[in-house]
Copies of this chain bind each other. A is one copy, B any other.
Amino acid sequence: MTTEFQEINIQIPRTDKPRVVIIGGGFAGLNIMKELDTRHYQIVVLDRHNYHTFQPLLYQVATAGLEPGSIAGPIRHLIEDNEEIFFRMAKVTQLNLERKTVTTPVGELRYDYLIIACGSRTNYFGKDEQFKEALPLKQIPQALNLRSHILQNFEKAVNTTDSYELRSLLNIVIVGGGPTGVEVAGALGELRSHVLPKDYPELNFRQMQIYLVEGMPRLLGGMSDKAGKKAIKYLKDFDINIMLNTMLESYNGKQVQLSNGEMIPSQTLIWAAGVKGNVIPGLPEEVLERDRILVDEHNRVRGFQEVFAVGDIAQMSTEKHPKGHPMLAPVAIQQGTLLAKNLNRMALGKPQKPFRYTNKGYMATVGRNRAVVDMPNGWSFGGFMAWLAWMFIHLMYLIGFRNKLVVFNNWIWNYFTYDRGIRLIIRPFDKEEKKKQREAEISGV
Name the B residues within 8 Å of A427 (CB-CB). 141, 427
The answer to the question of A106 belonging to the interface, with a C-beta cut-off of 8 Å to chain B, is yes
**In whole angstroms, how far apart are the Cα atoms of A107 and B160 in the complex?**
11
A425 touches B89 (CB 8 A): yes
A72 touches B424 (CB 8 A): yes
Name the B residues within 8 Å of A129 (CB-CB). none
A426 touches B10 (CB 8 A): no
Name the B residues within 8 Å of A72 (CB-CB). 424, 426
Quote the shortest CB–CB distance from A438 to chain B (angstroms).
14
A80 touches B424 (CB 8 A): no
B68 touches A423 (CB 8 A): no
The answer to the question of A350 belonging to the interface, with a C-beta cut-off of 8 Å to chain B, is no
B50 touches A151 (CB 8 A): yes
Q: A199-B74, A402-B419 are in contact. Are A425 and B80 (CB under 8 A)?
A: no
B402 touches A69 (CB 8 A): no
B9 touches A425 (CB 8 A): no
Q: A106-B159, A427-B427 are in contact. Are A422 and B88 (CB under 8 A)?
A: no
A425 touches B51 (CB 8 A): yes
B424 touches A51 (CB 8 A): yes
A159 touches B199 (CB 8 A): no
Quote the shortest CB–CB distance from A163 to chain B (angstroms).
13
A88 touches B402 (CB 8 A): no
**In whole angstroms, how far apart are the Cα atoms of A432 and B141 in the complex?**
16
- Chain A, 43-76, CB within 8 A of any chain B CB: 49-51, 67-70, 72-74, 76
The answer to the question of A200 belonging to the interface, with a C-beta cut-off of 8 Å to chain B, is yes
Name the B residues within 8 Å of A89 (CB-CB). 152, 155, 425
B159 touches A88 (CB 8 A): yes
Choose among B141, B160, B202, B422 the residue that contacts A426 (Cβ–Cβ < 8 A). Answer: B141
A11 touches B413 (CB 8 A): no
- Chain A, 211-253, CB within 8 A of any chain B CB: none
Bin the interface of chain A by size: 35 or more
Choose among B69, B88, B199, B432 the residue that contacts A76 (Cβ–Cβ < 8 A). Answer: B199
The answer to the question of A256 belonging to the interface, with a C-beta cut-off of 8 Å to chain B, is no
Name the B residues within 8 Å of A198 (CB-CB). 76-77, 80
A432 touches B425 (CB 8 A): no
Name the B residues within 8 Å of A426 (CB-CB). 51, 68, 72, 140-141, 144
A432 touches B423 (CB 8 A): no
A159 touches B11 (CB 8 A): yes
Quote the shortest CB–CB distance from A209 to chain B (angstroms).
22
- Chain A, 376-431, CB within 8 A of any chain B CB: 400, 402-403, 405-406, 409, 413, 417, 419, 421-427
The answer to the question of A127 belonging to the interface, with a C-beta cut-off of 8 Å to chain B, is no
Quote the shortest CB–CB distance from A217 to chain B (angstroms).
39
B405 touches A413 (CB 8 A): yes
By beta carbon, the residue of chain B nearest A421 is B402
The answer to the question of A355 belonging to the interface, with a C-beta cut-off of 8 Å to chain B, is no
- Chain A, 66-98, CB within 8 A of any chain B CB: 67-70, 72-74, 76-77, 80, 83, 86, 88-89
The answer to the question of A201 belonging to the interface, with a C-beta cut-off of 8 Å to chain B, is yes
Could you show 17 A-B contacts with beta carbons less than 8 Å apart?
A11-B159, A11-B160, A11-B161, A50-B155, A50-B424, A50-B425, A68-B426, A69-B421, A74-B199, A74-B423, A77-B199, A89-B425, A106-B156, A107-B159, A402-B413, A402-B421, A432-B436
Among all A-B residue pairs, the 10 with the closest Cβ atoms: A76-B199, A69-B422, A89-B155, A67-B67, A80-B198, A402-B421, A51-B424, A67-B69, A50-B425, A74-B423
- Other 6 A-B pairs with CB < 8 A, given A69-B424, A74-B424: A50-B423, A50-B424, A69-B422, A86-B202, A88-B155, A88-B159
